[in-house]
Structure 1
Amino acid sequence: YRETITRTVKYVEYTHKKQTGGAGQYAKVAIDVEPLPRGAGYEFVDKIVGGVIDQPFRPSVDKGIRSRMEMGILAGYPIVDVRVSLVDGKTHPVDSKDIAFQIAGREAFKLAFEKAGPILLEPIVDLRVTVPEKNTGDVMGDISSRRGKISGIEPEGRYQTIVAKVPEAEIQNYSQALRSLTQGRGFYTKSFSHYEPVPAELAKKIIEMSKKEIVEAQE
């Protein structure tokens, strides 16, 4: 699975301030986030005007955002297809450090992500299933029950190849099902196609399960 956003959010601020006995830590950042097309990945844009954030600290913000994206926010899956623009911030002459800007970037991104209509994406595969003609109807019914979308049928003598796109999660242990539907005479190939939003009800279950696993792992 992957996580992404569905809408643009402007000017989300976060200030990281830590005062200990000796030197403190200080960083303030403001970012915009916007969704990118599927497969576009991640873009970081430095839109700082003037010297509100010193040049050496700007890559630190990017680094903090990347670390948060790898961890995920919704359900612990990597975040994809997002553009983040660094638009404002503040540096302290003494207390600003690389780590402070990493933390500020990370936390600002978490806040922005939560406001930007986050969704879960699932991998969709191209599935080609070749079966005896008499089993075509049963196999097509089974593919549909797995949230599959059938795009065509190609006749091959007494066999037919069903072409479909199916969520990868729905075809775990597919060999077994196909064997029983075709008395062992069907075979299939699959290859990754793209990512698509998970239906809301299912996403809710996946997110709840993932959060439970994360909590259990921490205990």
Structure 2
Amino acid sequence: MSKNKTGKYFKYAIGEIILVVIGILIALQINNWNENRKERSNELKILNTLNAEFNRNGNTLDSLLLQLKRIEQSLSFVLQKIEPNPKINFTAIELDSILYNSFDNPVWKRSEYTLRNLESSGKLSALSNEDLRSKLYEWSLVAIDIEDKDTDASVGFQNLLNYYKENGSLRNLDVFGDYIPEGRSSLAYDHKKFFSDITFENMIDDYMVYTRQRIKRYQKAKVIINEIINLTLTEE
């Protein structure tokens, strides 16, 4: 009888142990499910924030590309008119307007706050979409390339501006903007002399090269932005 009772107690103990183990496994499974749900929820928030940020960047880039193409057209016009005996049938005001459109150096004010936070916190590598991680890395490389070319363009633009400060009238250009309501300069100078000056031609050419390089890089950036926007679209 004692042996029978011992056997029953042993079986009961084994059953209790099995129930406890099952309970622990269920608790662990529930905990893992909750953790996965939290991680997925956090990732969805990151994706939504990235999507919004790159949408804004895409919109500002579209505006900048329009500006750069306008500058390119003006620079191209000026470059084609430079020759030993320039044949220009434009008034001084019309020429100043063309040069005003050429002498511009817009800057892309893009946002990278979310991406920088992801990189600094180490959360970038935790994104589940490998294609997105790869595309964000590609974006970082393109952004560095853009910054380098923007710096080169700024130098080229400043050289052109300094040349015109010494040889032309900035006031006559600035009247086409918003800051010189006082009107044109009363000081006379020869507008056409620029169109037969090799120094002026070199500076226009230099800035034209930088402008076209910027356009090319920005167009590449636009493609990557669109790809990132598509990769960060979320499905609840």
TM-score computed with the length of structure 2 as normaliser: 0.23
Q: Between Structure 1 and Structure 2, which shows a larger proportion of strand residues? A: 1
Q: Between Structure 1 and Structure 2, which shows a larger proportion of helix residues? A: 2
Identify which of structures 1 and 2 has the higher relative contact order when contacts are C-alpha pairs closer than 8 Å and 6+ apart.
2
TM-score computed with the length of structure 1 as normaliser: 0.24
